[in-house]
Each structure stands twice: as C-alpha cells, then as structure tokens.
Chain A
Amino acid sequence: MEKSVLMGGFGGQGVQTCGKLLIYAANEEDKIATFYSQYGGAMRGGTSNCTVITSDEEIGAPNKKIVDYVVAFNIPSFKKFEERVAVGGTMIVNSTLISEDMYTRKDINYVGVPATQISQDLGSPKVLNVVILGFFCEYSGMVEPKVAQEVVLKQFAKKPQFIEMNTRAFETGVAEAKKAKKAKK
C-alpha cells in the first residue's frame, strides 16, 4: 500500500534530513520509496519541503499534491500545506509554534507535538527533526520506529557525542506519539 507524507518548514530546521532519514529507514524495510524535495536558494531561513512516498509496488508521481500526512514544522508550511492533506488524512503540527485555533479543516485529523519545546528542553534546537521523525514513525506506522532509530544512530556513527541526545530526542518523539494515539482512542 502506498503511503505519502509531505514535510515542510524553514531551512535549518532539518526538514530535508528528516525526510532522508525516513527514506533510509523505508529502504531498510525493503520498501520501495521516493524522496522528492524542493528548497529555496537561500539555505537557512528559506522555505524547505520534501515528499516521501513508500509502497510495496512501483511509485508513480513522486511529487503528489494530495498526501496522507503533512508534517508542518512551522507556521508558513502549516498555512501552505494544510490544503494538501487528503480527506481523512492527518496533519501533524509542531504545536510549540502552531496553535489549535489556526486549524481550518473539518475533514482531516490534527495532532500536535511540541517539538521545538522538547528539543529546547533536551538542550539543542538541532534535534527538532529527530523528535518529529520519532513522533511521525510511531504515529503513522509508515516505517517501524525501531528501524528508523537505528538509521538515526548510524547517521551519527562518526559523531558519538551526538548519539545520546538524538536517542533521547527520538524516544521522546515516540513517547509523545504513543500518548497522542491513546488520547485519540
């Protein structure tokens, strides 16, 4: 079955890395997957988004407009991509920056994770994307969180000083998703 996610934020939030880690994890599960990205010429502070699709069969358009999940790292991406969630799909928002009164649609689900706050509590805004990755994997089931976590650790194999913080970031994301799933029930 095909599953798709669009992630958007501003340059420097780690949107591209988050999407890449996701496709690496999908590959570890021997899924067919694509990663399509768009980012502005200016790096930090510019717009940045990527679309990841996983499937067990050939993938057509890698730049689908309507996707199962949208993950909004910041307000501009929330506003821009809210309309691209499929009916019945899910919008995952960075709730530190995006408040519930901004939600405009009735035909999709919204779920928040205070990712910026969590990353700051952990001591580095840099792990924001890893918090979101953990949350997304657990919440969506697009890839197994365990597999994604291994990919994250492998990514930092050469920088062992970052492993602990990223592990905590990922695990906090997963824990938040478990809470959110329970609340939904």
Chain B
Amino acid sequence: MAKKEVMQGNEAVAESALRAGCRFFAGYPITPQSEITEYLALKMNDMPGRAFVQGESEVASINMVFGASAAGARAMTATASHGLSLMAETLSFCASQTVPAVIVDVGRAISSTDPAQTNYNFITKSLGHGGFRPFCFAPATVQESADMVYEAFDIADKYRCVVFVMTDGMLGHLIETVELKPYRELADMPERDWAPHGCGRGHVTHGGTPYIRGEALANRQEEIYAEWERDYTRVEDYYAADAEVLVLAWGTVARTAKSAVKKLRGEGCRVGLLRPQTLFPFPNRAIREIDERRVRHILVLEDAIPYQFYHDVMYALGGKPIPVTRYARSMGVQVSAEEAEEQLRRLL
C-alpha cells in the first residue's frame, strides 16, 4: 500500500480544505480553478454540518462566504484571476469587518486560460479600498498547496483576516504524490465568540462584528503585519547558503528554476535559489541579509510582465550593491527550466 495519494493540485486543495474544517464553500467555475468547485460540489453537501453552494457569480459567492463566516463557519471560496477582480468589493468588506475568509486563487493569464503570476500585486498589496492586506501563501508543489490551505484556516481564525493561497493553472492541474493531513472534528474548531448567535445571546451584528473600530482597527492591522513578518515569514533556501549567483522566484516559476539550479550545481557552479513561501508577509529580512560579498548577481524570475515580484525584491534589497537581472514571460507563456538555465549561464 502506497504511503501517499496521487492527486491533482486543485483536488488536493479542495480535500485539504475539508480536512481543515471548512464548513462552507461557495464558488463559481472558472478555468483553471473549476476542479476545486467540482470536487466540493460532489462531496461537501453529503457531509454533515457542511454546505456547498455554486454561486450565480463570483460576486454572489464571496458574499455568501462573508455571510457564512460572519455567522461562525469556516468558509472558503476559490477563483482565478478574472473572478478575483469581481470579488474585490467584498474582499475589502471582509477585511474592514475583520471577517475571516480563505481564498484560493488559481492564477491564469489575462488573455488565455494558461498559467500566470500576474495577480501578485492585486493580492499582496491591498484588499481593495481601505488598503487592508491579506496573508498570502505561495505554494510550489501539490503537497505544499494542500498543507498551506490547511494552515490558512487557522491563520484566518487567529487574526480574523483574509488568507490567500496563490497557486496557478500549472500547479492546479499538476498531478503529484501527496500526503494529506487528518480530518479535524468540526466540534474542535476554535470558537468564534464574536459571531452572532441569534437574539438569545443578545448579539447584534452589522455585516461582521469588528472587535475594534475606527483608527484603532487600522492601527491593529499594522501590529498584525509586524507580527506576521516576525513569526510567519517563510522562505525556502535551495543551495543558497554558498551561492554566488542567486535566483529569486516564487510558486511554479521557482520550482521550475530548481531544475536549472540543480543541473548547474551538478557542473560545480555556485548557484542557488531563495523562494518566498509567503508573499505577504514578504521575506524582507532574508533578502536584506543576502551577503553582497559573496553573491555577485541576483536573477529575478516571474511569469508576469509588467514585472511585479521584482519590485518587492528591489525594495527588500534596499540599495545593496548587487547587480539584479530580471527575466519574465507573460500572457500565459511560462519561464521554462531551459530559459532559467540560459539566464543563469549568462551570469556565471
């Protein structure tokens, strides 16, 4: 009997959400996300204490997630790029009302259904008007997608915030071996004592029920972001410790680049990779601590033109005297391992 299961990225995300205690899902199909909605449609309504709704649109779906979450249920939706744009208003409302939500974005290009990383700015910079920011995970494998969705619900509950898991069409459709975490009892979920329980307990709610209001709420967000940066920032170090040429990339581009790094390491070249696993909080410190006496060149790769991730890297570097080269593909074309290798060879 095999130790692991074979699952598609999207299916693993859906199954992992159920295991994490997701009680409500509303979503609207869109390539390359549809398998998440499909998987949950087949399964969720047969599970006691849970509900699945296919919304009539993305707008309806995120609003239902808001409602379910405000009423106390762990709730999630999933979409892809264009659908995310439609959800913008309610994302902002979730944030300002401190109503937790988990959102999986399976990124695709603006011009086709092929994978892309062009939602980077949209997700990491601000949840629409108000400028609140979500926690953002960036998995690179099916295993990591499943694990991060599992953890996302806990972070959403703890900080009463929106948590994104940002995958893309390649990762969503990729099939890999995966080990899923166990099912959690719905009864064991952390209690949301702030959720309205009807007139009996005297709670009245307007939308959500922010625990603080006004400027205090805004200031609290800054404290949370600082806490995230201190305690939750994650970055994978792949042969980076003694690297002279260092790749910075996230998600599927980073795992693709690993092939190039591994190949060049085999030839004795000192190349390495730093891969942010969280994009907000961004690993500013790990980048700031790159040793300019050892690293003589940085290569930033992403599936996004105009460049997005690149600018965060530059900000984190804070003017360090290390030359930075950027290379990207866009509109559904992805950076390949061969291209990453070629770029690295030019810098060696």
Chain B binds chain A: yes
B173 at the A/B interface (Cβ < 8 Å)?
A: yes
A-B CB contacts (within 8 Å), total count: 68
Note all chain A residues with C-beta closer than 8 A to B166. none
A32 and B143 alpha carbons, distance in the complex (Å)? 11
CB-based contact A58/B258 at 8 Å: yes
Q: Which B residues lie within 8 Å of A30 (CB)?
A: 2-4
Interface string of B327-342 (1 = CB under 8 A from A): 0000000101110000
A61 to B141, CA, bound (A): 10
Stretch at the interface among B95-103, B124-132, B174-182: B174-182
> Which of A28, A36, A60 is within 8 Å of B257, CB to CB?
A60
Chain A positions near chain B (C-beta within 8 angstroms):
20, 23-24, 26-37, 58-66
Residues of B within 8 A of A32 (CB): 177
Q: Which residues of A contact B177 (CB under 8 A)?
A: 23, 26-27, 31-33
Q: Collect the chain A residues with CB atoms within 8 Å of residue B192's CB.
A: none
Given contacts A23-B6, A36-B173, A61-B337, 7 further A-B contacts (CB under 8 A): A33-B177, A35-B6, A36-B175, A58-B141, A58-B258, A63-B256, A65-B337
| Closest beta carbon of chain B to A147's beta carbon, Å | 10
Tell whether A61 pairs with B336 under 8 Å between CB atoms, given A27-B6, A28-B2: yes
Contacts of B259 in A (CB 8 A): 60-61, 64
Contact partner of B256 among A28, A37, A60, CB < 8 A? A60
* Known contacts A60-B256, A64-B259; A35 and B176 CB within 8 A of each other: yes
Question: A60 and B174 in contact (CB under 8 A), knowing A27-B5, A28-B2?
Answer: no
Question: Nearest Cβ distance between residue B163 and chain A, in whole angstroms?
Answer: 25
- Say yes or no: A61 contacts B173, CB within 8 Å: no
Residues of A with C-beta under 8 A to B141: 58
Contact of B336 among A24, A58, A63 (CB under 8 A): A63
Which residues of chain B from 1 to 51 have any CB-CB distance to chain A below 8 Å in the complex?
Answer: 2-6
Decide: B256 and A34 in contact? CB cutoff 8 A. no
Size category of the B interface is 20 to 34
**CB-nearest residue of chain B to A64:** B337
- CB of B170 within 8 A of chain A? yes
B296 at the interface (CB under 8 A from A): no
* CB of B11, distance to nearest CB on chain A (Å): 12
Residue of B nearest to A65 (CB): B338
Cα distance, A62 to B173, chains bound together (Å): 11
B288 interface residue (CB < 8 Å to A): no
Q: State whether A60 and B170 are in contact (beta carbons under 8 Å apart), knowing that A27-B5, A33-B176, A35-B176 are contacts in the complex.
A: no
Which A residues touch B256, using CB under 8 A? 60-61, 63
With contacts A30-B4, A61-B255, A64-B259 taken as known, whether A35 is within 8 angstroms of B336 at the C-beta atoms is no
Chain B residues, Cβ within 8 Å of A65: 336-338
Given known A-B contacts A33-B177, A58-B258, A60-B256, A24 and B170 have beta carbons under 8 A apart? no
User: Shortest 8 CB-CB distances between A and B: which pairs?
Assistant: A60-B259, A60-B258, A35-B175, A61-B337, A61-B256, A61-B259, A27-B2, A27-B6
A-B pairs with beta carbons under 8 Å apart, 16 shown: A20-B6, A23-B6, A23-B175, A23-B177, A24-B6, A33-B6, A36-B173, A36-B174, A59-B255, A60-B255, A60-B262, A61-B256, A62-B170, A62-B255, A63-B170, A65-B338
Q: Which residues of A contact B337 (CB under 8 A)?
A: 60-61, 64-65
CB proximity of A8 to chain B, nearest CB, Å: 17
From B6, B174, B262, B338, A62 is in contact (CB under 8 Å) with B174
Q: Which residues of B contact A62 (CB under 8 A)?
A: 170, 174, 176, 255
Q: Which chain A residue lies CB-closest to B334?
A: A63
Q: How far is the CB of B35 from chain A (nearest CB, A)?
A: 13
Residue of A nearest to B338 (CB): A65
Closest chain-B Cβ to A91's Cβ sits at a distance in Å of 20
Give the residues in chain B near A35, CB-CB below 8 Å: 6, 174-176
- B173 to A, closest residue via Cβ: A37
A58 / chain B contacts, CB cutoff of 8 Å? 141, 258
Question: Which of B174, B260, B338 interacts with A34 by CB under 8 Å?
Answer: B174
Q: How far is the CB of A165 from chain B (nearest CB, A)?
A: 24
